[in-house]
Structure formats: C-alpha cells, structure tokens
A and B are shown apart, each in its own frame.
Chain A
Amino acid sequence: MTENTFKKVVNRASLTPLFKDGISILFGGFGGVGTPPGLVDLILETGIKNLTLIGTDAGFPDIGIGKVITKKQAKKLIVSHIGSNPNAGTYMNTGELEIEFSPQGTLIERIRAGGMGLGGILSDIGIEAEIVNRSKEKVKVAKKEYLIEPAITGDIAIVYAKKADYYGNLIFDKSARNSNPYVAMAGKITIVEALEIVPIGSLNPEEIITPGVFINYIVQSKGVNWQWAWEQK
C-alpha cells in the first residue's frame, strides 16, 4: 500500500492550526539528536507563546528545542538538564522561564507512564534532594520509601524517525531513538517527522519500534538544518 489510506501523511504547514498559545509540547531528542528539525521550525514559524516544553534537555541555543527556548516561546520547561543551553539558565534567572527539573531516568518513566495510561511511577532517585522531592508525596512499598512521580502527557508530541510507513510505524536511527518512542506515546496528538516515508508493508514487522497506532500525522523531513557543536570548531 503506497497510498495515504490512513490520511496521516500531511503537509507540514497544514498542521499550523494545531499549534496554539499555552499548549504543552513533548519533544523527542537528547542534546538535539533525535529532535525533529522541521517541526521545531514549525513552532518557530507559528510564533505561539507560553508553551510548556517537556523533554530530556533544553538542547543548545541554536540546536533542537533550544531554538524555541531562545526565541522565548516557552513559559515552562520540564527537563533533566539545561547546561548546554545558557539561554534557558538566563531566562530562568530573570524569571521569564519556569523550570521543573526531573532526574533523567525518572522523567522518561513519567512520560512513559503518561503514554501507558498510568497515573505515575514510584522512584527513589533524588528522594533526599529538595529539587526533586518538593511537593511530591512519599509512599512505602515493602518497607522501602519512594516518591510518587506523576505521569506526564502533552497536548502535542513531536518525534523524529528514520523511517515511517503510511500507517506511522516507526524505525529510529541509532542513538537518535532515545526518548522518541515514549514521547510518541504521551501526546494527545503525535506528529512524526520522518526522513523517509515508505509504503505500508515495507518495514519488517519484527523491527518496528513504535507501532503506528500512536501516530496521528506524518510529515516529510528535510533533515537537520543546524550545525552540531562538534562541527563548530
């Protein structure tokens, strides 16, 4: 099946009406690797504001989701790390940007819980640290104490894949997989940007990482349009 029978493959610009002020956006990626460049640009082009951005880290000032942060379109981040994007730290210090830090392994499990239809997870990571435990309940299970870490979902999830078929079955590329499979599950609407859009039936069913059931829209990628830190020497 090469046709767009599930009507998921769309023109990127046609998705503009989905992007509204004040929404929460989950993004795949780790330091920009695996963050969908075309969908990041779509957020920039729409100029929407007061976003809550949820993902592993704040990228770099000109890489990945960092571009949206740099343009001051976010009011809140839920991330594990902002060290590679000084703008995030600056805006946090001026009070323009609220940042909720979550340990990286806990954050991905919270996103996974959201995508899996759970209310949250129990974790003892950072249980003694005020930055982690503030305003969270504790619970004892089998005599061991855990934090109740609430699940996370988002209004829109944006992910980056190596290949998508017309149903939205996805295969990722090496370490660019990272958070993408769980981000894909946790969006009320999930958009995948794929480097290759291939006919249904052309992906090996045993090798599909994310089943297309989680994907609402598929857009064609033109690839990364930023310079990586390691290219900037």
Chain B
Amino acid sequence: MGMGAEIRKKLAKRAAQEIKEGMLVNLGIGIPSLVPDFLPGSFPVMFHAENGIIGMGPSSEPGKEDENLCNAGGYPVTLQTGGSYCDGAMAFGIIRSKRIDLTILGALQVSEKGDLANWIVPGKRIPGMGGAMDLAAKAKKVIVVMNHFDKSGTSKLVKACTLPLTAPNCVHMIITEMGVFNVTFEGLLLTDLFEPYTFADVIAKTEAEVKRAKQIRIIKER
C-alpha cells in the first residue's frame, strides 16, 4: 500500500498493544502479520489460521519449510507449543461461534459506523471473499490497520462506504499512520495521535466525522 517499512512497524506495534493475555487472535495478511513481532516472548496468546491451525507460530526459517504447514496466505509457518491442527469446518466454526477474541486486518474503506469494505478492489478482478466475511462479522473485536488514504489521496475513513461491504457495523478500532480511532455510538473517537500529526490535521484529512477523546495519547516517532 505504499507505506514505508518504519510506518508499517509502528502501526503493527500499536496494534500489538490490543492483544491481551489468553486471547485467540486471527491476523490478516500485510501489516497485521507483523504484529506478533511486537509481543513479548512467551506472551500467552494463540493465533488462529482459517486453514486449520490453532496456535500458529512464526514463519519457518529458510530451509526448514514444511509444504503442509502453511498460513492462510500459503506461506510456510511453524506451530507453537500447545498448538493443534483442525479441519476447515472447525476452523470456521471457531469463528462463527465467536471464539475469536480479536482479528486484525486491512481495509479499503471503513465507515464511521464501523462498516468494513475490504474484499473488492475497484476496477480490478473480483477475488472472492474467502474467509473475510466470516471473520469480520463474527470476531469479538475487529481492528483495522490501514493507510489513512487510498492511492489517489482520498480518505479511507468515510461517512459511508461506497465499496461493497465485507460486513456492516463490525469494526471496533482503526489504526492508521495518523492515529487510532475507536468506533463508538457517537461516531469515531480519536484516542491516539502519531507524531507529528495534530487533531486539526486529522479533521482536515478525514472524510468521516471524528471527535476527540477526553485524553489523547501522543505516540512519538520510534
């Protein structure tokens, strides 16, 4: 998405703070896959992959790949201690029955009501929804990590999504390079600002209506 490596890490680091002990977490591809790098070693969390892994570990070391142990993106991973394998029906049964505590994923647009659009890129081929609708609709908490702007510089935090929805009213938090937004009944609430942005910058650059939280945390560079 044209975002520098440093910014990607910064967003992943912030998202990692939302992972609490004991959670079952499903991570999307892209920036979300960087999130585990920012958890302390032996942090008690299990990562779920929709191709049938509960307790997915880090990517395989080069030369140690196992073609039958891959993440949902098709890349070789490892199994963490205590992890297990299951079939696809169980992997999705876990999702639908609301046992995923948190999913962190990318998005094309998020509305101020928390509607999520992340599966059709306009003007491109339809890729299919895969497991995105299941995850977005049924995870207990949905965090979107994304660029604040699309390629043409337009705000991706919108009043109402113009792209087809993955699921309505499902996003709880959005993390962009400008800040962190909570989806509330009163609309988007800015809780964190990444330096050097100001609240005025966010208001000016965001299509959706944004209110400021009582206390805003400033996240400094690095």
Identify the A interface with B (CB < 8 A).
30-34, 56-57, 60, 79-84, 86, 89-90, 92-93, 99, 101, 103-106, 108-109, 112, 123-126, 128-132, 162, 172-182, 209, 224, 228-230
Contact = CB atoms under 8 A, between A and B. Distances in A.
Determine chain A's interface SS by DSSP, over half rule: mixed
B159 interface: no
Given A33-B68, A176-B68, A101 B131 contact: no
B85 A177 contact: yes
A219 to B, nearest CB: 19
Given A105-B96, A174-B66, A230-B65, A30 B72 contact: yes
Most-contacted residue by chain A among B74, B91, B131 (CB, 10 A): B74
A175 B85 contact: yes
A128 B161 CA distance: 14
A177 B87 contact: yes
A179 B88 contact: yes
B103 to A, nearest CB: 13
Contacts of B129: 80-81, 101, 103-104, 126, 129, 131-132
10 contacts: A83-B127, A83-B130, A92-B125, A101-B126, A103-B130, A108-B92, A175-B51, A175-B69, A177-B87, A178-B88
B133 A112 contact: no
Nearest to A101: B128
Contacts of B85: 172, 174-175, 177
Contacts of B134: 103-106, 125
B164 to A, nearest CB: 7
Nearest to A56: B88
Contacts of B75: 229-230
A33 B50 CA distance: 13
A129 B126 CA distance: 14
Given A92-B125, A177-B87, 12 more contacts: A31-B74, A81-B130, A84-B74, A86-B125, A89-B125, A89-B127, A104-B130, A105-B95, A108-B87, A126-B133, A174-B85, A179-B87
